[in-house]
């Protein structure tokens, strides 16, 4: 499954276009390298997502074959680390 679609299905991004734009801007990385929207996600991948004010590190647990309503109850990722950036830190 494409990374932009996985982000939408797993609810790490609200919309697929939002996930696509974040990937193009280089705000989602794996092993320190920015990923492209067409990256093929695999179970075990550790991704770092940079949102506006926080960094979220997740491990992909499962990549669904297709999207079904039953997926809403299945955990597709686990959060490894979450770090917030405070606006005061931007000024320093």
Task: Determine the 3-state secondary structure of 84 from DSSP.
Answer: strand
- Record the pTM: 0.82
CA distances from 11 to 75, 86, 90 (A): 10, 24, 28
> Using CA atoms, how far apart are residues 81 and 88, in angstroms rounded to an integer?
21
Q: Which residues pair with 77 in a beta bridge?
A: 60
pLDDT digits (tens, 9 = 90+) for 2-32: 999 999 988 899 999 999 999 999 999 999 9
Arithmetic mean of pLDDT over the chain: 86
d(CA 58, CA 12): 10
Cβ contact 20:37 at 8 Å: yes
Domains of the chain: 3-84 (3.10.290.10)
């Amino acid at each position: 499954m494409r990374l932009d679609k996985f982000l939408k299905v797993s609810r790490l991004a609200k919309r697929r276009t939002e996930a696509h734009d974040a990937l193009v801007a280089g705000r989602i990385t794996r092993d320190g390298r920015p990923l492209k929207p067409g990256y093929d996600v695999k179970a075990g991948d550790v991704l770092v997502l940079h949102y506006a004010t926080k960094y979220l590190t997740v491990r992909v647990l499962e990549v669904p074959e297709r999207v079904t309503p039953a997926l809403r109850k299945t955990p597709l990722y686990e959060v490894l680390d979450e770090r917030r950036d405070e606006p005061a830190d931007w000024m320093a």
